[in-house]
Chains A and B, each alone.
Chain A
């Protein structure tokens, strides 16, 4: 039916940056973190992403600096490879093929050429038991090397990588699993194991959650499920080991980290408080509360000046050693479930969904960057496991983006449900949404769905709730109170035979409101609040409801768990219906197209169709293996012009959807992808010269010069090709130790920059004659000779003007002046206009 299309499902941004601990570069200018199947390099100062190291084909599961070269980084991935990168330039140096999915990596200075990996050797990868394996990295010049020398250090280690740590510069390795702590000494080749009882008298849960080793001392810190931290000493004897306990956390300790000098121990847990314990002085601690999101990992820079905490809300926080937050790197926050739908902010075109608890997040898909969080609940969030707190469950924008309606809810599990309906107005001055109205008891039961009217003039909100009513809310509908005109109040309450409403939708011109009550669709006129007609559905509760747009505005689409029906509103008759289980129906706001995700036989298919005809424009079988409940059409930045029928629907807007595993996917065209790839490649070539202040100065100067002198210059594809590039290029690209001394090079280099424009030069000279330049005298004769030929050529014009008879002293003076370099003046003149 549909020809084979080149449209593909592509993962698009917003991946987790908190999966594994981040790594500081040695100079602590950069912080690296695993993000999906790439490694991202962020600047600690500006919090911007410098570049991402792409090459892995599966989730990156660990990164660590190369102990032999601090500008290189190892990364391991679930695709069974370990890659070595130069992270400053973003160049892949080497790939080691392991052959088994790798789950974590650690290295040590003492073990040169060896990396320790956690692999799952078992054939079924789902088994929990992992093995710790030492891998000898083969030394060869090739790009791709297969690492075959694997030697198992120990098997049956915990799947949590923070339960394994190399201790004291690699003398031993400690790993914990459930209730047992094992320490393996490399020199003795011996394992000591210590076990705790599951619970003691007070009911403490003793299971290990994380392990950290002191960098210089023989001490292992372990975190436990009940919030205790134990410091183990003397563990090289089986019997005489001791431990001391630190206790502040009231939930499990997620992570532990010693500072590089070993003076402090950092710990973090679900409370979102970073705790700094002074090593040796028990119970002396400093707290840094309210970091946002449970702390998952802590990393310290090698100089101990910066810490980096990874949080459960997909965030990295950079903290100075005096406990001041100096940077926040925020990724797309993905909880267990998106309660609000995916939405597009009509103003910023940003993707909006619920992010941090009680917040809405605005995320730019184009730049793959978190824009800001909007605090909806405005209450202190208590970081405690199992606490039922307010959560944003519904949000909807009006068509212009000047109003936002949100519903927050609490106590869904228990009987006493609390919820608020809030309306937010866009404030031009602050460029964000400001709370306008809070409605405490909008309905007597949960709000199921809501929508704004789509007309430009008047905004109206319709909410449907489980109490069997739908309500229309208007701004300033209450005529009695004249002073608060801009607040929202209830305009109309409607119900239909006490049935529970399921969904509501406004037509494109807001002249009709459709509210579905279980199996019946009712059509209302929002002008008069008259019920115009009812449409009775084939059996099954209605899930989605949407009106057609533009030329298809006379159609109304509805889905049940078995059928997709299309009603003609002019004849009030069923136009067509198909039996397909649609899990999500999403209309494109810019065209007639409607996308339907159907879930059948354990995979999801996508159909794109126009309501006017039951034939789909585009089908994509097996989009993913999970159900799709959230999808959104995002307007394209610039409309594409595909003529191909099957890809025409992507011209105006792009379809994004969220699977149950919280992967954000999109449909992309191969050609477009190529275009983007090539553009990024070109960017890479341009940047091949290291960006230094010197380069910037030169490049700028060169560009200006070019624009001035040769406006009609039609070089190849590279406009910045330097004129006298040979010298400069040579200068910039020859290794520094090969070059002669800078003092020798200087004048040569400067001469190459000189502009041979005599007119300008003359004026210069006359005005600058008095200038004394003593430095020039010290210059060697050789250089003078080297410059002479050029100088004399240029000097001709000026000599003619000056009186021909000159004393020797004068001539000498003149010569010196001529030699003086005025090229910097040229720069000045150039910049003047």
Chain B
């Protein structure tokens, strides 16, 4: 006599991207806090000192926010025109900003009035930064020059005029106080040395450079511009290591996470992409509008993103403590020793052993299925769904009942309450491709069974109406998708024969450009 085989619950893999450690890490942020600034947020910079306040440059102001504050704790507002690039010094005490009118201002973080003003640029100063000794300020301007200023004296130390277009990107070396890298709209990235007074190496990015970034080891350099992100190996004399094209609009900003040095890039296409060490995209943040600036706090605690519509979006990292409180609240099951009670008893030599048949444990719905109580089994399965919010068991029971040919019996003769429970279940899961087929079947049978009595119950009628609406919407969507598929097919069909002809006549370079255009 064979024993009853319990219902097999199919565990189907979820469609979509796979869950890896990286995605888990980057998904572990709270939903963003949004703050409205007066204009597009051009620059965000975190203070290197705890509690890691951050300076946000937008319009004619520079605000300093605390890590958890919704309101600025400090603001610098005495700009006549747009301020640019508020950057902290390495000790977090000084802040330097550029401005539209060509002045560079140096602030004490706690004060209001500028300590120094460096004048000399003839056009807007878009990028400013401290050199790593903390005694000099370097700036890049739309007048195509880079200048280095001395803080104590306020004098201009050197001017570099090698760029032939606006200088829009700047990254000082943290290891050597005399080195810094600039990127310009003349498509080049240059590394300058204060000691020699000229550029050491020049790299052709190929597009106007929006942002440059040095890895902490300073062997690798990241430059962004156009749709491309390029990594350069500085130890090999500026050889291009990789060129990434994961965004479909200009990449405006890049930064490195402080844990593991993952590269993050933000773009006008509203996405922030996270790359792993082999430069594959492992995660993707989606934002409402084009991203102009981005910064990440030490230990990846906070990701702050500035956008063109003046919204500053701040994400905080979730902490494990929150999870622990949740688990402790959950009821603990019986302890291990309850289960082994009496099982580990070793009989002595003279003992006569009477073995009892092991009682097989069945789930409640299986017990009901065993005694052919299909309607009750369905109710139990729906209760499981209500308790755990996992549809797999319920769907498995529905499939099993259908296999026995008694799904109609199980669904028939129900009152308003239990019927609406089933309908709710159907509504929730009818579009899950894993479960849609049994759900459609259940819906069909319900409509067949109850079509005469539906008007008696307004709540069931409402649910069926909703079901009809979502199904209508889904069919429309499918229709559109099929149309798109048709369009794509014609496109591909028009491409392939030309390729064969071209292969005979034209050189293969043309083909490549054609494909790209497609």
B-binding residues in A (CB < 8 A): 288-292, 325, 378-380, 382, 384, 387-390, 410, 416, 438, 440, 480-481
**Contact partner, B18, options A325, A378, A438, A481, Cβ 8 Å:** A481
One of B3-11, B103-111, B177-185 at the interface:
B3-11
Q: Are B1 and A291 in contact (CB under 8 A)?
A: yes
**Contact partner, A382, options B8, B12, B404, Cβ 8 Å:** B404
Task: Collect the chain A residues with CB atoms within 8 Å of residue B10's CB.
Answer: 438, 440
Task: Collect the chain B residues with CB atoms within 8 Å of residue A440's CB.
Answer: 10, 12
**Contact partner, B3, options A288, A290, A378, A416, Cβ 8 Å:** A290
Given A380-B369, A416-B437, A440-B12, 10 other A-B residues pairs in contact with their CB atoms under 8 A: A289-B1, A292-B2, A379-B5, A379-B7, A379-B403, A380-B4, A380-B7, A384-B405, A410-B403, A481-B18
A-B contact pairs, 18 of them (CB 8 A): A289-B1, A290-B3, A291-B1, A292-B2, A325-B1, A378-B8, A379-B5, A380-B5, A384-B405, A387-B405, A388-B405, A390-B403, A410-B403, A416-B441, A438-B10, A440-B10, A440-B12, A481-B18
Q: Are B404 and A387 in contact (CB under 8 A)?
A: yes
Q: Are A290 and B4 in contact (CB under 8 A)?
A: yes
Q: A389-B403, A480-B18 are in contact. Are A378 and B5 (CB under 8 A)?
A: yes
Q: A379-B403, A410-B403 are in contact. Are A290 and B1 (CB under 8 A)?
A: yes
Task: Collect the chain A residues with CB atoms within 8 Å of residue B4's CB.
Answer: 290, 380
Interface SS of B by simple majority: loop
Task: Collect the chain B residues with CB atoms within 8 Å of residue A288's CB.
Answer: 1
Q: Which of the listed residues A380, A390, A410, A481 has the most CB atoms from chain B within 10 Å of its own CB? A: A380
User: How many angstroms from the CA of A378 to the CA of B2 in the assembled complex?
Assistant: 12
CB distance from A361 to the nearest CB of B (A): 15
Task: Collect the chain A residues with CB atoms within 8 Å of residue B7's CB.
Answer: 379-380
Task: Collect the chain A residues with CB atoms within 8 Å of residue B3's CB.
Answer: 290
CB distance from B450 to the nearest CB of A (A): 22
User: How many angstroms from the CA of A291 to the CA of B403 in the assembled complex?
Assistant: 20
CB distance from A310 to the nearest CB of B (A): 16
Task: Collect the chain B residues with CB atoms within 8 Å of residue A378's CB.
Answer: 5, 8
* Chain A to chain B: the 10 pairs with minimum beta-carbon distance, closest first: A380-B5, A290-B2, A325-B1, A382-B404, A387-B405, A290-B1, A480-B18, A379-B5, A378-B8, A380-B4
User: How many angstroms from the CA of A811 to the CA of B8 in the assembled complex?
Assistant: 87
Task: Collect the chain B residues with CB atoms within 8 Å of residue A379's CB.
Answer: 5, 7-8, 400, 403
Q: Which of B141-182 contact A (CB under 8 A)?
A: none
Among residues of B, the one whose C-beta sits closest to the C-beta of A290 is: B2
CB distance from B373 to the nearest CB of A (A): 14
Kindly supply a per-residue 1/0 record for chain B positions 88-103, scoring 1 wherever the CB is within 8 Å of any chain A CB and 0 otherwise. Answer: 0000000000000000
Among residues of A, the one whose C-beta sits closest to the C-beta of B5 is: A380
CB distance from B339 to the nearest CB of A (A): 24
User: How many angstroms from the CA of A390 to the CA of B18 in the assembled complex?
Assistant: 32
Task: Collect the chain B residues with CB atoms within 8 Å of residue A291's CB.
Answer: 1
User: How many angstroms from the CA of A410 to the CA of B402 in the assembled complex?
Assistant: 12
User: How many angstroms from the CA of A438 to the CA of B13 in the assembled complex?
Assistant: 11
Kindly supply a per-residue 1/0 record for chain B positions 1-30, scoring 1 wherever the CB is within 8 Å of any chain A CB and 0 otherwise. Answer: 111111110101000001010000000000
Task: Collect the chain A residues with CB atoms within 8 Å of residue B404's CB.
Answer: 382, 384, 387
Kindly supply a per-residue 1/0 record for chain B positions 255-272, scoring 1 wherever the CB is within 8 Å of any chain A CB and 0 otherwise. Answer: 000000000000000000
User: How many angstroms from the CA of A487 to the CA of B1 in the assembled complex?
Assistant: 33
CB distance from A303 to the nearest CB of B (A): 22
Among residues of A, the one whose C-beta sits closest to the C-beta of B437 is: A416
Among residues of A, the one whose C-beta sits closest to the C-beta of B403 is: A389
User: How many angstroms from the CA of A384 to the CA of B404 in the assembled complex?
Assistant: 9
User: How many angstroms from the CA of A198 to the CA of B481 in the assembled complex?
Assistant: 59
Task: Collect the chain A residues with CB atoms within 8 Å of residue B20's CB.
Answer: 480
CB distance from A412 to the nearest CB of B (A): 14
CB distance from A98 to the nearest CB of B (A): 41
Q: Which of the listed residues B4, B5, B7, B10 has the most CB atoms from chain A within 10 Å of its own CB? A: B5
Task: Collect the chain B residues with CB atoms within 8 Å of residue A480's CB.
Answer: 18, 20
Among residues of B, the one whose C-beta sits closest to the C-beta of A389 is: B403
User: How many angstroms from the CA of A390 to the CA of B403 in the assembled complex?
Assistant: 9
CB distance from B434 to the nearest CB of A (A): 9
User: How many angstroms from the CA of A30 to the CA of B20 in the assembled complex?
Assistant: 64
Among residues of B, the one whose C-beta sits closest to the C-beta of A411 is: B403
Task: Collect the chain B residues with CB atoms within 8 Å of residue A389's CB.
Answer: 403
Among residues of B, the one whose C-beta sits closest to the C-beta of A375 is: B5
User: How many angstroms from the CA of A382 to the CA of B404 in the assembled complex?
Assistant: 7
Q: Which of the listed residues A288, A291, A325, A382 has the most CB atoms from chain B within 10 Å of its own CB? A: A382
Among residues of A, the one whose C-beta sits closest to the C-beta of B3 is: A290
CB distance from A323 to the nearest CB of B (A): 9
